[in-house]
Amino acid sequence: MESALRCVTPSSMYRCARCGAFNRIPSDRPNGEAVCGRCQVALDLSGAPQNVDTARYSHAVKNAPVPVLVDFWAPWCGPCRAAAPMLEQLAKRHAGRLLVLKVNTDEDPQPSADLGIQGIPTFVVFRDGVEQGRQAGVLPGAQMGEWLSRFV
């Protein structure tokens, strides 16, 4: 019995910040440029965290083909602001293998209420729409990276 082999180019998944579509981009893409297959706008391949409202959060968590890390935060929260640069570094380090979203709990309180989040910042990792891990409060960069590595 012969098996059919095919060459598969490694790829990464990116979410279009404009329309929310997930796009598979080959890792060997020249110049690191790509456009969304749905709305044709340029995709951000940096992996930078994306701000989302309740509807976009819900859609992304349920449909993402990669793990999703959600940062529940608010602009007045000092620890939330302090965590932002570390979160951006982690997001860029795992670009294409992890989607990082930011939900402003002042503007969109429903997702955090649904999850029973009582303090911010809180970081939640989802895979296939199911919560896989939660971290309340900011960890030092290395520890946050170790925590996140269990899910990516």
Q: Mind telling me the catalytic residues?
A: 77, 80
Task: Please name the residue that has the structure tokens 């279009």.
Answer: 16
Alpha helices, DSSP H, located in the chain: 54-63, 78-93, 110-114, 141-149
**Contacting residues for 11 by C-beta, under 8 A, at least 6 apart:** 24, 25, 26, 27, 96
Any idea what DSSP says for residue 95?
A: B
Q: Are 48 and 33 in contact (CB under 8 A)?
A: no
